[in-house]
Chain A
Amino acid sequence: MASVPDIQFDTWYTYDQLTAFLQACAEARPDLLKLDSLVASPEGRQVWLATLTDPTTGAPEDKPAYYVQANVHARELAGTSAALRLIHTLLTDEAVQARLRELTFYVVPRTNPDGAEYAVTLNGPIRSRSVIQEKTNGLVPQDLDGDGKIRMMRWEDPAGPYVQDPEDPRLLVSRLPDDEGPFFQQQTEGLIHDYDGRAISLAIKSFDFNRHYPASWSHTVDAAEYPLQHPEIHAIAEFLFEHNNIFAGIDYHCGTQALLRVSGKAGELPESDLELMLEISAVCERLTGLTPMASSDYRQPWRKPISLPGNSDEFGYSVLGIPWFTIELGNSYSSAGIAAKDYFAADSQTRERDFRRQVLRFVDENPDHPWDWKPWTEFDHPQLGRVEIGGTGSGNDIMPHPRHIADLSVKTTEFILQHSDWHPQIALSALETIQVSDGIYRIRGRVANVGIHSTNVMSTAAASRTHEPVCVALELPEGVQIVSRPATYEFDALGPRSFRPLEWFVAASASAQISVRASHPRAGKVQVPMTLD
């Protein structure tokens, strides 16, 4: 029998490696994991979805579900590894596995496989998707020197805006008044469309899939023409709309370490929602050490509160009405020991010089670091003449050391598991029947939510298109009739640890077998059989 493979933490996953890992998991534990594709990317890769649950206790969509996605931004490959950690833990740790009796986990470890492949192989400049846009003096990134990577090109120019860092000449930094030359021009490795010697700019239209959700979407911020135009995010949104059993979501990213919640401070969000987000965040902070913040505060102190129209936190919270967090796993700076608060507080010179030196020092001390530095090497550029190609690809800044992800992903996984225990959970109690008259029975009981989250989860869920009431109905054999109203109870929502009374009158003969059935997509299903007597 195949076994669940170990996660590699010495490198990032290519698409083929990711596919092999997931297929091996599906083969090793077909009883717990089902692998599907949400959609094929424009380049033909699958956006894999792993559905984890114990099907002997119910179908995946009949249980409350936790959703995790990663790698929406192409270069943020560490998110994929962290998402795989969750899958691995659920499949290999028996204590953890018990949750799959009550819960479903949906995991999309690589939302953007095309972008990730470009980042993991060529390491070129990309946010989520880069589309070449032919324009005069537009630089088209490509590998010119045949080393398989897109790095930087530099050439000497007395008017150049860059200079070698006096302390670590491998680094090219912005020139300061006191710097002595030589000075350099610097561009991404590539050829230039229609070059006439004037200023060069990147010839790519850059799309950010995390500005692409239909929530406060802005046409001036997203480069796409309308929300969900990209098939990958369209498929994700359709999946989330169709799966109204999902009660919480995590979006793994890489950047200065933090746990990000939706923008908005006290007074701007409903109090109860903000309180709940802070409570969940506190659990995360305790388990992972990640600092919780509103995404509007994820910035240098002198900047305006940032707004990220169309991002996933906004979509998860405002449109789906669920708690949704972005976990920023770190980057090369956090791996080199620079704390989030120091990074935000630093001025641009400290960031550009001191911090990058610190990163290079860390790389020197950790030869297993996948950071791939190439010494500046001369190259004859067909348009620019003699240049040097070298440095590192544009993706490396955003990548933490994989070993750090090996540690941190254990903690973020523990957070996800603990938070998943908060799911709303429907229960039936105090069920009783009495015969009130000849052939007429009264059935009473309570339907309760014994979970920590409301069935609405967030107040915004009440207006969400995925909103459904809690339903309680009787299942009756032939010949038994409900004579009271309502026949089926619909409760708009059940708060945490709250209940509602139930009452029916039915016409039946003695000893009829009936059952009471209660359900809510985010709180599961229960059915209790009763005998009328």
Chain B
Amino acid sequence: MNDVPAVDFQRFYLHQNITDFLQQCQVAASDLMALSSIGTSPEGREQWLATITEPSTGTADSKPAYYVQANVHAHEMYGTTAALHLIHTLLSSPEARDLLSRVTFYVVPRANPDGAEYALSTQGEVRSRVTVNEKINGVVPQDLNGDGMILNMRWEDPAGPFAVDPEDDRIMMPRRPGDSGPFYYQCTEGLIHDYDGGHLRLSVDNYDFNRNYPIGWKHGTDTAQYPFANPEMQAVGDFLFSHPNVFAGIDFHGGTPAILRPDSLADEEINESDLELILEIGKMGERLSGLRLMSSRDYRASWRKPVVLPGNSKDFAHFGLGISWYVIEVGWGYSTAGIGPDESFDALQETREREFMRRIMRFADEHADTDARIVFVPWEDYDHPQLGPVQIGGLTRAAVSHVYPPEMEQISDGTTSFILEHAAYHPQLMLSGCEAVRVAPNLYRVRGTVANIGFLATNIMSTGLKSRTHEPVTVNIVHDQGVEVLSRPRAFEFDALAGRGGAQPLEWFVSANPGCDIAVQASHPRGGSCSHKLDLA
């Protein structure tokens, strides 16, 4: 038994905590895990990459590989917890050992370390990254009262659009007919750029890294000016392009709990066999994780138009890389309080603004002893240099966005089981029936079959055939000096081998002296490699 650290389910990980966890893992299991970084964030944090495989059966890049990333969206830091749980399981469970002899895992537990740090330390509003743009009457988010957090500011005004919930005075609700005052204006804590008393707006550009992938990318939807303009995402892209052995992956997010499948096209427009595979693996994931398999087109209120997310990771993986990829939405503040997909998608505004918020607060109250989240900060008077007397405080972003941390233990068990089973679906090359027959003095005919006995085809999805990372299955003869291949091709290249037994016959004529050794060798980045020795009798 080694000293792989236990995953902390009491709280979420700051960057330093992740670094410590991974470094301890590496010390405890240096035989299985290598720690490196795929990139450095603009604020100087490493995007850690854990590479995990059993080295005695081959190097990491010689095996089919499974990729996991988490925390692309800043506030979805519990994906990190699920990713660390996977690392812990891979390094400590004896059953995982067998899988590691055939598969490599690449795990990036925090793809967006700057955003997550901002989210965890300030509670501030951020999708993946915010940058300040200077607008007239623009609120620049910052901590004013020195508590380290960026919360809300409110001030009374008879025309204000918010009122205090009479049942729970911590909740600010958008006002409705019949509400009695007092009413409030509310905005993000901060100073106002070029304030002339006019209407306030937020003075930030809010970047969503999950719209920054190049497939289906749209200017206007993405705040960035071009795909991979965010260095963290370019690092992810460069890593995936330069690792053609990656055959599958998971992108951990937080939201209404679900397993989301690739879906920028309607089902009728997706290749049938791809769709079947996507559904089959997704259903398996549903069974093992308890999360509902959904198309993100349907990840919405029923009255909304089908959701299209240009430049997201699922489309990048499916159409760009041609691999088997899912987004796992592990949950959020609503699901933690018992508000699941059936209830939340179609809930009316009033329900969402009032009843759901009350349930979220009730859950937090009931679990106050074990809940490290700060969901509410009491309103505190503050003399704002521009607005005059205001109050700072209120519900934090954690209330609605963050899962109750201890809940991650059970969720991670499920997601890790899914990932381990999904990883076992890797393509796997095998050589069979290899034989050398002497057909004339010093002339041998070598025959055999190369097969893929894995579940997935070597191209994984039909889209894998056109991917930049596409490579053929190659089979060649490795030989001593004095041996010559007379037939052609000297090396076989098969565009792809189907899963579960897709096979191709092999034949060479070789001139050699009796007693020479040769070997037939087959390899594919996503199918691993294998070889078969033959003595020429």
Contacts and interface: CB of A to CB of B under 8 A. Distances in A.
Interface of A: 136, 194, 196-198, 214-215, 217, 219-220, 225-228, 237, 241, 318-319, 463-465, 482, 485-488, 490
Contacts of B219: 214-215, 318-319, 464-465
A214 B216 CA distance: 10
Interface in B153-208: 194, 196-198
18 contacts: A197-B488, A214-B217, A214-B219, A214-B225, A214-B227, A217-B217, A219-B214, A225-B241, A227-B214, A228-B228, A237-B226, A318-B219, A464-B219, A465-B225, A486-B196, A487-B136, A487-B196, A488-B196
Contacts of B287: none
B196 A198 contact: no
Contacts of A215: 219
B198 A486 contact: yes
B533 interface: no
B257 interface: no
Contact of A220 (B194, B223, B227, B466): B466
Given A136-B493, A463-B220, A487-B194, 18 more contacts: A196-B490, A198-B488, A214-B217, A214-B219, A214-B226, A214-B227, A217-B214, A217-B217, A219-B468, A226-B227, A228-B227, A237-B225, A237-B226, A319-B219, A465-B223, A487-B136, A487-B196, A490-B136
Nearest to B196: A487
B319 A225 contact: no
B44 interface: no
A136 B491 contact: yes
B226 A228 contact: yes
A465 B136 CA distance: 17
A245 B214 CA distance: 27
Given A136-B489, A136-B493, A219-B319, A485 B196 contact: yes
B217 A485 contact: no
Nearest to A465: B225
Interface band, chain B: 20 to 34
Interface string B475-491: 00000000000001111
Contact of B489 (A196, A463, A486, A490): A196
A275 B419 CA distance: 56
Contacts of A217: 214, 217, 227
The interface centre, meaning the residue of A225, A227, A482, A486 with most chain B CB atoms within 10 A of its CB, is: A225
A237 B227 CA distance: 12
Nearest to A485: B196
B341 interface: no
A215 B228 CA distance: 14
B489 A198 contact: yes
Q: Chain B interface mostly helix, strand, loop or mixed? A: loop
Contact of A219 (B136, B225, B320, B489): B320
A485 B136 contact: no
B491 A227 contact: no
A488 B214 CA distance: 39
A215 B226 CA distance: 9
A226 B228 contact: yes
Contacts of B450: none
B214 A225 contact: yes
Contacts of A220: 466
A482 B223 CA distance: 35
B215 interface: yes
A177 to B, nearest CB: 32
Interface string B212-251: 0011010110010111100000000100010000000000
A226 B493 CA distance: 27
Contacts of A194: 490
B234 to A, nearest CB: 8
A226 B489 CA distance: 34
Given A197-B488, A486-B196, A227 B226 contact: yes
A227 B311 CA distance: 12
A488 B194 CA distance: 9
Nearest to B228: A226
Contacts of A486: 136, 196, 198
Q: Please give me the 5 A-B residue pairs with the lowest Cβ-Cβ distance, nearest first.
A: A214-B226, A226-B214, A487-B196, A196-B488, A225-B241
Contacts of B214: 217, 219, 225-227
Contacts of A219: 214-215, 319-320, 468
Contacts of B196: 482, 485-488
Contacts of B490: 136, 194, 196
Given A214-B225, A486-B198, A225 B468 contact: yes
A384 to B, nearest CB: 16
A221 to B, nearest CB: 11
Nearest to A484: B196
Nearest to A489: B136
Contacts of A225: 214, 237, 241, 468
A396 B82 CA distance: 60
A97 to B, nearest CB: 34
The interface centre, meaning the residue of B198, B489, B491 with most chain A CB atoms within 10 A of its CB, is: B489
B10 to A, nearest CB: 40
A487 B136 CA distance: 9
A386 B491 CA distance: 27
Nearest to A196: B488
The interface centre, meaning the residue of B219, B237, B493 with most chain A CB atoms within 10 A of its CB, is: B219
A507 to B, nearest CB: 15
A214 B211 CA distance: 13
B98 to A, nearest CB: 34
Contacts of B320: 219
Nearest to A240: B225
A154 B9 CA distance: 72
B274 to A, nearest CB: 16
A396 B214 CA distance: 35
B370 to A, nearest CB: 44
Contacts of B319: 219
Nearest to A318: B219
B201 to A, nearest CB: 12
A463 B220 CA distance: 7
